[in-house]
Structure 1
Amino acid sequence: MRKYVIYFALIYLITGLLLPASLPVSLVRAAETEKPSAVDEQLQTAYEHLQHGRYAEAREVYAGVEKKLADVSPPTSDAHWKLMQGLMRIDLETGDTPAAFRRLETALKQDPRRAELQAWAAKLYYEAGQYEKAEKHVAMALTLDADQPRAHLIQAHLLTEAGKIEEANEAFRWFVRYYNRAQPEDAETLLVIADGATQYARWNSVSQIFNFVVNTLCPDALKDDPLVWEASFLSGSILQEKYNRPQSAEEFQAALTTNSQAAPVYVALAETAVEIREFDTSSELLEKALKINPRLLSALLLKCDLELINGQYAQALKTVAEAEKVNPRSQLVLARKAACFLLLDGVPTTDALKPFFDNSETKTKPAEKSSRFTQLLTDLLAENPKPGYFLFELGNLLEFKRQFAFAEFAYLKTRELMPQLSGPQTSLGMLYMQMGRTDLAQETLNAAFQADPYHVRVSNMRKVLGVLESYGSIVTDHFVIRYDSKADYILGQYMADYLEEIYPEMVAQFGYEPPGKTQFEIYHDAKGLSAHQWFSARMIGLPWIQTIGASTGAVVALTSPTAMQEPFNWASVLKHELVHVFTLQQTKYKIPHWFTEALAVRSENSARPQKFNQLLVERVPKNEIYSLDELDGVFVRPKSSSNWNFAYCQSLLCADFMVAEFGNDALKKLLLSYQEQGSTATAIQDCFGISQDEFEKRYHAYLKKITASLKGYQSEEADLSFRELKKQYEANQSDPDLAGKYAYRLLRLRKKGEARSIARKVLETHPTQAQAALTIAQLELLSEDLDSALDVLQKPLSVKAPDVDVLSLAGKILLKQTKFDEALPVYEQAHQTYPYQTEWLQGLSIIYQQQKKEKQLQETLLKLVHLDPNDETSMKLLMEGYRKQGDLEQALRWGQAALQVDVLDPETHQQLSEIALKLDLKPVAIRELKMLLHLQEDNAEQRYLLAKTLLDAGQRGAARTELDLLLKQNPSHAEGLKLKQKL
């Protein structure tokens, strides 16, 4: 997620506690009766409460001070100002802005000549969007004190909002000059200077200022006032802006240590949570911030962003309305309002946007009729001709929704209007990476790094580009494959062939063809970082992302399977991600997340995973089914891996339902409808002639039908805690099932003696009780007494529906004892009861191999690879089985399938070359022999075979090259010498 532009790193600044050099006569008189030192002590106590977030206590102390000062101290005294300022801060930090304004107006009437008060007035009116009033108070403050820091800060922001960027830049520069001239030491002034100077640093790429603020100004402020948590917050915000998460977290924690009620800090932590996709954590932090201060603008903005991420556009618009009550003219608020309009009403083309920014004398009128967005943009430009922050924020929001063309226009226009901002340059570079335009990304990110060398994501992405520069490229008719040419030479070749092989199928399926070549990038271990870290950095600029493959719609990146501890079926992943490329581009990114995932998973043509079936059995009977509107949010912010998997499961089954209910062309029709329409409800009505409610009613009925057909699955309730289980057992020890479960749990807790005693007692009267039998069997296995363990399992095995754990343990024991005939009925029964579990099929495959039952083995292996597309072992067994049967075409097919899991297996390459030669497929044999020799350079016999095959295929030059290499390695190779005579 994008970084928020910080207008004010400090929202609430504290006041210094220095007493004036001399006191007014009236205050001196008051001192004779009221002891000023007592008032000062109370003010200090109230201030301490305030800085620690103890607002009620602070109010109480301030109320006491107010009574003491009511009659004896003039409203122009410093003590009275500290009182009013403290009370205003409490109002603002707890969201009671109207009360703060009432106090402000009272104070302005009583003490209009106080420059600091005028500056505070400017600040409050500016933050409320009342810029004209803010300007008047800035002017008054600077008339009273030409060096009033806060007044200068508000003046700079007001100039920015008016589009007077050059003047605003000079206004921010004032802080650097003032610090060098005046060398202030009080915390309040230092923090205002830090805020203004940081903005100047952002605009002018002066990285030394960031260092100076974080390492000098903020520590100096804390040295002057250890309670000024705002210093830690400012420092943390700057570090967070640079994506230096560890150090920013330390600073934010330091701020919360002082003030656990510092709402802006919780918002900053929520922003970090969004960046790393911990959306639930972010929501919890935001809820905490808004409970403290329900009018905190930064919290409302981030809340709106989360709603936009979840596709809750109408709700986001309501949150924008709440933010407008705080500041209706904030560019950040208007950007979110504009994003809601665009995502609800449709995104205009960049050509339609250009006339709004045309300042030429022959300015053309916008062609499109007025919309909510265009009206907002027109009004904003009339007030501020250079709304850089608005465009930058809007670009970020639309980029997240994959509206890349609009985002690019927004970033480019921001760079044109406010070239001093480094953020748009950074975002533009990141966007070009998402779009696969790496040449432009390199140029843009280099410029961004020069402007801001401390930006972690920019630095990481430049490193990614450095790695990509060293990669090889395979360019085909429709793809560009970038890969580590040393580690993944073989993988790159096979991926290129596979993508071109499935491309016509994709075009036919979707009735669409991407306009350019799609780039695939395969990341391997490099420069001390893992392949997955490089892949993650490529996608988000940070070193972790959950998946192994991802598509932006324009480019696909994945972790190399050759770098993974557990290989995966890379062909399935490629096809899945290629579907995203087609569907996202075809619908101009309007397709909802759940539907593009449904189409992608369905394209893999694998059996529904067992974990999906288990989730169906657990959730559908309880009616725990996500609506289509909820599904997108689950993909973005799943509370658990189970929720994430169930979102995939529901999406897949929704696609299956549409085909079953509305015909084979239902998916294509809905896809085309998303291309034209804005919402799921409209698309469903357009395609199927029913409402979304009716559609979901039928879909849920389909889910229930599928769930009812799943044999052998049981809804697993959450395990009782050991304490609760023990309590239930002690209350009813005669219940054999409770006693068996309790004994089994005791065994897991290593309480063997007690577990044995209870389980034996249960089996005396209930020998079929599964958990008791499992307890005794496991104890027998500890002493390696397999026969005794098996004996105790016989009774539970004999029941009509044996417990799954009993079947599993008995089967494993029988296989270990090589009692294959006895193991067969156990595994057959288990497979019949649990047909989607691979454990039983794996056991059956072992048994059938030992029993030489080729037909049954082949049927079992075909089921296995359908259930588990990563099962390379079964694929190789199928290759060998079909080869023995003489079905060489099927043998070739399964050998090639095995390479889609482990492309670096020399044995498979060798067998494929032999099969291809028997089929007289010389090009296939040549490729397999070349790949084998890439893995085994010194394999003389295979090099000879390659040379001979090349010669037979008429490739005399290539044959001579291989033969020369063979004879160089083996000068006396007899067959090689004979073959050379033929050349």
Structure 2
Amino acid sequence: MLNGLHRIIRLTLCLLAVMLPLQIYSNCLIAAEEKQAESIEQVLETAHEHQQHGRYAEAREVYAQAKQQLADSKQKNADHQWQLLRGLIQIDVETGQTKSALDRLNEGLKQLPDHPDLHALAAKLYYETGDYPSADKHVTKAIAFNPDQPLAHLIQAQLLTDSGKIDEANEAYRWFVRYYNRAQPEDAETLLVIAEGATQYARWNSVSQIFNFVINTVCPDALKADPLAWRASYLSGSILQEKYNRPQAADEFTAALKTNSQAAIVYTALARSAIEVHDFDKSIELINRALKINPQSIEALLLQCDLHLINGQYLKALVSAENAAALNNRAQTVLARKAACYLLQDGVPDTETLTLLFDTSAAPDQSKTTKADSSRFVKLVTTLLKENPKPGYFLYELGQLMEMKRQFAFAEFAYLKTKTLMPQLSGPKTSLGMLYMQMGKTALAQQTLNDAFKADPYHVRVSNMRKVLGVLDSYGAIVTDHFVIRYDSKADFILGRYMADYLEEIYPEMVKQFGYKPPGKTQFEIYHNAKGLAAHQWFSARMIGLPWIQTIGASTGAVVALTSPTAMKEPYNWAAVLKHELVHVFTLQQTKYKIPHWFTEALAVRSEGKARPQRFNQLLVERVPQGEIYSLDELDSVFVRPKSSDNWNFAYCQSLLCADFMVEEFGTDALKKLLTAYQNQHSTPNAIQESFQIDQNEFEKRYHRYLEKLTATLKGYRPPSPLSFRELQKQHEQNPNNLNIAGQYAYRLLRYRKKQEARKLAHTVLSEQPQQAQAALTIAHLELLSEDLEAAQAVLQPALESDSPDVEVLELAGKILLKQEKFSDAIKVYETGHLKYPYQTEWLQGLAIIYQHEDNPKKLEATLLKLVHLDPADSTSLKLLMKRYLDQKKWEQALHWGQEALYVDVLDPETHQQLAEAALKQNRPELAIRELKMVLHLDDKNEAVRFLLTKTLLDTGNKQEATTELDRLLEQNPNHVQARALKQKL
């Protein structure tokens, strides 16, 4: 019995021993499941953080971990599944794996068939791939499951827009404003979708305060809700970029990249900004970076297409457009690029044809059909109109692209048609106003830009252009037979009149040269300082709506604008600039803008008739022997996106010399033949073949041989040392006995302000090789620091006596000798320099000074003539020439050079007075009267000139005007003896 009891107790204890671990295990399982439920949220949060930081590989790994945990979990959580799916799909989309994203989407829809957010995401994906029916189906499902699903409403609005249901789309965008006010959502994702929809509503309905609200409230609230929501910064930056507020836009884009350095869309946005400021190399770098992250970024591909269009590479542009179309063949932005490529390759229809093509008044069942021989553009538009009778965005984008290629008539049609189809868009109003400024239609521009400003008061370019119009309104106008000159009537009273006379003087010559007369009057606008801004800022704002442009003059082909020379610190020959820009007016209009950039620049530079600039020759010597010659196809892109000022100069140099080559190779009418071919709308290969009966490849071979032959004749030029400071230092350390390297290194040390080291090394070199140029220059410059001219000259003398003196030695020695007034010694230096470097003006300037002091008029005259040929902006030499011819009583030559001097300095009263005197000697009283009046305009106290004007007026029978001038003179000086005597005679 006892033993049995013991057995029972033992059994009970055993059972308890077994049951206790089971209970503990059961409790552990419950705790483990609770811990797992917590950890899945942590895992998803970690994956989200990786994703938002652009660490896509890490995010995928963590999402895979989450997926496994969800698979192992007995409790299925739809929200967790949704977060997992959304994260993976977004990573796929952001890295260009659209197929994978769609596969995940379809798999997810099987798991969560009733999830509104997943259907909304499906709608977005299908919309972005051009599958509009599927997108519409999922929009309907998402809204059925959740009537307030924001993303579904956004895609619905976009679908309505792309089907031409603009009024319904507008109401769909309005939903976002109402929903925000009603629901006051706080999560970042919803806020950003609302911001996107509300911003579109603001654009369409000119509710500018919404832009402020989105940038200053909605996006910051999204970042408060989720500090990693980089898209909030991107959205703010995009709105600011749209308004041309680049500095603040850049700050927002930088903030976005600080969170996510792999955000392809941000790099694309920055590339767009780079294009706008013509930093094309930067834009290419950014586009390539975006495409490396996301090879299927449509935005990046479209920008790539735009760059090719800018460069005139239409075949490459079409490839980029087709690549984008392979991803979405229904997006209006994509179709616009394809259409632009077709138009620029196949030709642009006239306005009447376009009007018929875009006539959407017919009933849908009477829609147009295309013929088999219809152009690619017509087929594309016809197909588009069947799906969307109001393709406003297509036309707007296409208009901008064609305006960029100066197809102004097409762009005007596109903007006007867009205004008709989608009047709520502010962009076409802005672009149309800017276009009218390009076309010189300032009255239309004023009205259009005012409307655009009301619609979008935050647009920087619109604001700037309206300010330009305000300045233009205050300007005077000189109207001639063929021109309208707009100018600051106070600051440029004289300049405006001389410009008008000059343009009318050269107009017949231009008509004869080009065999063409521009229709209507060409408008020239001369911008001066005004309202606290510099003249160049106004000129820049006039041309691009922004405050900086590289040149001082520019032509749109319809209007010419330039910075007033009277407002510039450095003078320039304004007559040469006017002629240059007028050539552009002729050639661009004559060829309907078909002429390539390099050829219109070649004709314009050649028309100036001046010597080839020194910098051109130097670049020829540096580049041609190395085979660094641009092809004709490359030249246009260099003008548009030069990597350096040297590249830009060499593009001008090559263009000019190509024109010279054609004349030498094919005869004096070669340029006219090629221009006619472009006028007949031929491409460059066809134009060359038709004009010269050779293909472009053979043409360029001959042209390159011409450049090589020309370069071989250039004397004294040599490429700069390719060695850097570090390379010189290394070579000197390796071979200290090489005196040439040592001398160069010493001179470079001096430039780096290492004076003692430079002096020591240079003395060492000169002790063994007194003629070493760089060592001599080093010591000479050091002696000049203490103003010891004699010592400096003495150390240079051996280098001067070498068989081929260094150019810098000649320059420095010449300056020292001139300062010492040792003209007999200086003349040898300057004559040697001029003989060796005939295109450098400094030798001629030195010789002119010497010949003046030595009273050698014959040599002085010859030197001055060479100088003004090389530098038409050298007003000092021009005035000296005029004076010399006046002294020689060569009145015709004096008049000529006096006029040339005014082309550089029109406000010099002495030149005007001397011109008047020469005119009187030539018996040209009308010219003399004009010049005397100009002197008085500049100096109304000049009694001698006013008396001379009075007498000249009397001599020409202008008694009333003469009396007026005489009375003014006597009012100034009642005791003027000659004036009083003349008054008594009248």
Q: Normalising TM by the smaller chain, what interval?
A: over 0.9
**More displaced stretch, 412-421 vs 944-953:** 944-953
Aligned residue type for 2:943: A
Q: Is residue 473 of structure 1 aligned with residue 499 of structure 2?
A: no
Q: Distance in 2 between matches of 1:752 and 1:138?
A: 76
Q: Which residue of 2 aligns with 1:38?
A: 39
Q: Does the 8 A contact of 2:868 with 2:877 survive in 1?
A: yes
Q: Report the secondary structure of 1:35's partner residue.
A: helix
Q: 1:365 to 1:973 in 2, by over 3 A?
A: farther
Contact 1:346 1:678 in 2 (8 A): no
Q: Provide the residue aligned with 2:894 in structure 1.
A: 891
Q: Quick check: 1:507 aligned with 2:511?
A: yes
- Corresponding residue number in structure 2 for 1:964: 967
User: Which stretch shows the higher mean deviation, 512-521 or 62-71?
Assistant: 62-71
Q: Deviation string for 1:630-665 (max 9, x for gaps)?
A: 000000000000000000000000000000000000
Conserved 8 A contact 2:370-2:379: no
Match of 2:812 in 1: 809
Instruction: Tell me the CA shift for residue 33 of structure 1.
Output: 6.1
- CA drift of 1:733 comes to 1.2
C-alpha distance in 2 between matches for 1:573 and 1:550:
9
Distance in 1 separating the partners of 2:163 and 2:121? 20
How far 1:103 sits from its partner (Å)? 0.3
- Residues 936-951 of structure 1: pairs in structure 2 closer than 5 A: 936-951=939-954
Counterparts of residues 169-318 of structure 1 (less than 5 Å)? 169-318=170-319
Q: Is the deviation greater in 117-126 or in 782-791? A: 782-791
1:528-567 alpha-carbon deviations (Å, 9 max, x no partner): 0000000000000000000000000000000000000011
Partner of 2:736: 733
Q: Which runs of 4+ in 1 moved over 3 A?
A: 28-31, 73-76, 359-369
Deviation, 1:360, is: 4.5
Report the secondary structure of 1:522's partner residue: strand
Shift of 1:510: 0.3
1:90 paired to 2:106:
no
Decide whether aligned partners of structure 1 residues 686 and 292 sit closer, same or farther in structure 2, where only a CA change above 3 A counts. Answer: same
Query: What is the CA distance between 1:765 and its match in structure 2?
Result: 1.9
1:340-355 to structure 2, matched below 5 A, reads 340-355=341-356
Partner of 1:901, secondary structure, is coil
Normalising by the residue count of structure 2, what TM-score does the alignment of the two structures yield? Answer: 0.95
Q: Which residue of 1 aligns with 2:17?
A: none
Return the alpha-carbon distance in structure 2 between the equivalents of residues 64 and 30 of structure 1: 20
Q: C-alpha offsets along residues 167-201 of structure 1, whole Å, 9 cap, x if unaligned?
A: 00000001111111111111111111111010000
1:664 matched to which residue of 2? 668
CA displacement at 1:45 relative to structure 2? 0.5
Aligned to 1:435: 439
* Amino-acid identity (%): 71
- Contact kept? 1:30, 1:72, Cα under 8 Å: no
Report if the CA contact (8 A) 2:528-2:564 is conserved: yes
Cα distance in structure 2, aligned partners of 1:145 and 1:581: 61
Distance 2:361 2:318 in 1: 34
**1:430-482: CA deviation from partner (whole Å, max 9, x where unpaired):** 00000000000000000000111110000000000000000000000000000
Matched AA of 2:455? A
1:57 and 2:61 equivalent? Answer: no
Alpha-carbon distance in 1 for matches of 2:869, 2:549: 28
Residues 541 and 29 of structure 1: CA distance in aligned 2, closer, same or farther (over 3 Å): farther
Cα distance in 1 between the residues matched to 2:204 and 2:984: 75
Report the Cα offset of residue 748 of structure 1.
Answer: 2.0
Match of 1:15 in 2: none
CA distance in 1, matches of 2:944, 2:886: 22
Q: Does 1:775 align with 2:788?
A: no
Choose from 514, 520, 526 the match for 1:522.
526
What letter matches 1:224 in structure 2? Answer: A
| Equivalenced residues, count | 955
Partner of residue 832 from structure 2, selected from 812, 824, 829: 829
Q: Which residue of 1 aligns with 2:704?
A: 700
Shift of 1:30: 10
Q: How does 1:350-361 map to 2 (within 5 A)?
A: 350-360=351-361
Shift of 1:384: 0.4
Cα distance change, pair 217–365 in 1 and its aligned pair in 2 (3 A): closer
Read off the aligned partner of 1:880 and give its amino acid letter: K
Q: 1:413 aligns with which of 417, 421, 428?
A: 417
| Cα deviation code 1:23-52 (max 9, x no counterpart) | xxxxx9897365211110010011001001
Give the structure 1 partner of residue 14 of structure 2: none
Q: Deviations over 1:254-291 (max 9, x none)?
A: 11111111111111111111111111111111111111
Deviations 1:733-772 (A, max 9, x none): 1111011111212222222222222222222221111111
Bigger CA drift: 229-238 or 915-924?
915-924
Does 2:607 correspond to 1:603?
Answer: yes
Name the structure 2 match of 1:567: 571
Q: How does 1:650-729 map to 2 (within 5 A)?
A: 650-718=654-722, 720-729=723-732
Judged with a 3 Å threshold, the aligned counterparts in structure 2 of structure 1 residues 717 and 349 are, in CA distance, closer, same or farther, namely farther
Name the counterpart of 2:116: 115
Matched, 1:461 2:462: no
2:550 maps to a residue whose letter is Q
Contact 1:30 1:73 in 2 (8 A): no
Whose radius of gyration is greater, 1 or 2? 2
Do the aligned residues in 2 keep the contact of 1:480 with 1:519 (CA within 8 Å)? yes
The equivalent residue for 2:981 is 978
Q: Deviation at 1:226?
A: 0.8
- Deviation at residue 364 of structure 1 after TM alignment: 11
CA distance in 2 between partners of 1:851 and 1:766 (Å): 36
Tell me, yes or no, if the aligned pair for 2:367 and 2:386 is still in contact at 8 Å: no
Q: Answer yes or no: is 1:495 the counterpart of 2:499.
A: yes
Secondary structure at the counterpart of residue 716 of structure 2: coil
- Give a deviation string over 1:67-112, Cα, whole Å, max 9, x none: 1111325666111110111011110111111110000000011111
Per-residue Cα deviation, 1:678-732 (whole angstroms, up to 9, x for no partner):
31000000100000000000000000010000011112243x2322212211211
1:484 match: 488
Q: Which runs of 5+ in 1 are unaligned?
A: 1-27
Q: Which residue of 2 aligns with 1:747?
A: 750
CA RMSD, 1 decimal: 1.5
| 734-743 vs 681-690, which moves further | 734-743
Task: Tell me if the contact between 1:729 and 1:739 (Cα under 8 Å) persists in the aligned partners.
Answer: yes
2:911 partner amino acid:
T
Q: Identify the structure with bigger relative contact order (alpha carbons < 8 Å, sequence gap 6+).
A: 1
Amino acid across the alignment from 1:780: E
Report the TM-score when normalising by structure 1.
0.96
Distance 1:970 1:448 in 2: 57
Work out whether residues 344 and 678 of structure 1, in 8 Å CA contact, stay in contact via their aligned partners in 2. Answer: no
Gaps of at least 5 residues in structure 2 are 1-28
Cα distance in 1, alignment partners of residues 368 and 333 from structure 2 = 27
Once structures 1 and 2 are overlaid, which stretch shifts more, 906-915 or 656-665?
A: 906-915
Tell me, what secondary structure is at the counterpart of 2:625?
A: helix
- For 1:306-355, what per-residue CA distance to the aligned partner results, in whole angstroms no more than 9, with x for missing partners? 01000010001111111012211000000000000000111111111111
**d(CA) in 2 for partners of 1:315 and 1:361?**
37
